[in-house]
Structure 1
Amino acid sequence: MTETALSRVGQTSVLNVPSETAWERVASMDGINAELMPYMKMVLPRRHRGKTIADIEIGEPVGKVWLLYGGVLPLDYDDLRIVELTPGVGFREESSMVTMKTWTHTRRLTALDDSRTEVSDVLEFRPRLLLRPLTPYLVWFVGHLFRHRHRRLAAHFA
């Protein structure tokens, strides 16, 4: 059986803050969860709590990062690994989930000038076999979730 193609979703926004300020927010779990709520919340394994993305060892498995629907109900988990990291500039995570055979999230920050930063997210994923018929809905949902995240991030700095 041949492997299905990766689905790809992207979202880009401009924040009216310097890139250092944007990075502090997007690299922290408080910032990530503020972007995700009220839809979901990510909970790192106990040994990583209180850390930022920049504190996690590149290439080392983080472990099961729980995704809680509404911040409460376990929905899925992300077997997360940061594979690329440039503090202040971006990261790439690769993982698998109960629902996704592969999941890659790349986030980049680009300073446009001293007071504006472009934030760009690219998600590439392949649903597990049983969910493949739902791929168009998953593409819609991931796109909706990241548009929501960017709106929440921009609102934080408004």
Structure 2
Amino acid sequence: MIVERYSNIDAPTDQVWARVVTVEGINDELRPWMTMSMPRGKESLTVDDIPIGEPVGRCWMRLFGVLPFDYDDLTIAELWPGRGFHEESTMLSMRLWRHERTLEPDGAGTLVRDRLTFEVRAPLRLLSPIVAAGIGALFSHRQRRLQRHFGGR
């Protein structure tokens, strides 16, 4: 399944990029519903620092920042510094998880595009439409939080 979200952010692309590649920025987008942690010893990595094509390890997702409920075995497949990334990972709940985030200059602002492609694991496959709706809602929330941080249209 595929879910896409777009937002215009009232900030230059380099400022938006500096925010969205950090654990702090990612967690700010996810709050208050969840947070994501990096593996031990890799907490200071940013998307810019992760070796391309090499799994980083399990990044735990925590409901309300407390209760672990899933993990992302994070791998950055492609990186376009300052412009975007393509994450291709597996999760406890997902056989396939692809997240492509691109940033494009838009006048004085930035167009942020998230494209999620995923395949739910077999036991949950019947719930795919519900999962897609949840992922869509989460990424709409993430982009609203990003707009709030910088201001948005």
Are 2:150 and 1:150 aligned? no
Partner of residue 26 from structure 2, selected from 22, 25, 32 = 32
The partner residue of 1:122 within 79, 91, 115 is: 115
Which residue, 33, 51, 68 being the options, matches 1:74?
68
Match of 1:55 among 49, 60, 76: 49
Query: Are positions 1:41 and 2:35 aligned together?
Result: yes
Q: What is the CA distance between 1:124 and its match in structure 2?
A: 0.2
Alpha-carbon offset, residue 85 of structure 1? 0.4
Query: What RMSD over aligned residues (CA atoms) do the two structures have, in Å?
Result: 0.6
- Gaps spanning 5+ residues in structure 1: where? 1-6
Q: Which stretches of structure 1, 4 residues or longer, exceed 3 Å deviation after superposition?
A: none
Using the size of structure 2 for normalisation, the TM-score is 0.97
Give a deviation string over 1:44-69, Cα, whole Å, max 9, x none. 00221112110110011100010001
1:145 is displaced (CA, Å) by 0.2
Matches of residues 66-105 of structure 1 in structure 2 within 5 Å? 66-105=60-99
List alignment gaps of at least 5 residues for structure 2. none
When the two structures are aligned, how many residues end up with a matched partner?
A: 151
Indicate yes or no: 2:105 matched with 1:107: no
Give the counterpart letter for 2:49 in structure 1. Answer: D
Indicate yes or no: 2:14 matched with 1:20: yes
